[in-house]
Amino acid sequence: MVSFTVNKRRVNLDVDPSTPLLWVLRENLGLTGTKYGFGMAQCGACTVHLNGEAVRSCVAPVSRAQICRSIKDPKQNKNRNLDQLVEHLTEDKLVMWGRNPGEGRTPIPMPHDEFAAKLKQWHAAGASCPADTGKQAKL
């Protein structure tokens, strides 16, 4: 179950939290103004405002908070604490493979140094997830 506010209306949906927000808006809520372009967060056709931030909804999961909590949960991240998690996500060879996945595959859409800096900044700030701050997603 995912709950959020869209256009000043509270909605509760029984969808997989990893479903891209674009498809929840279009298919579950009938809000077809948000368009599908290439599905790679490149063209901007799917951009929506999420808590005042422009977000590419074709790649943004409907529940960032739930995904954040899953990443931080030692039961789901091979028993890693936050320091180990940051090291894994910034230095692990398999994770780094995503930076250059090979012909015919789309690489991660953020440069590694930028990703590493943002991840370390998040960690230094307490590694809070959206639900930890008490803020609810508003579109």
Encoded tokens for 88: 């894994």
3-state SS, residue 47: strand
Q: How far apart are CA 68 and CA 127, in angstroms?
A: 9
**In the chain, pLDDT over 70 holds for what percent of residues?**
88
> Which residues lie closer than 8 Å to 64 by C-beta, 6 or more apart?
129, 130, 137
Express each pLDDT in 7-65 by its tens digit.
Answer: 888 888 888 877 888 898 999 999 988 888 877 777 888 888 876 677 888 888 877 76
- Domains in the chain, please, with CATH? 2-56 (3.10.20.30), 64-129 (no CATH)
Encoded tokens for 91: 């230095």
Q: Which amino acid is at 74?
A: P
Global pTM reads 0.52
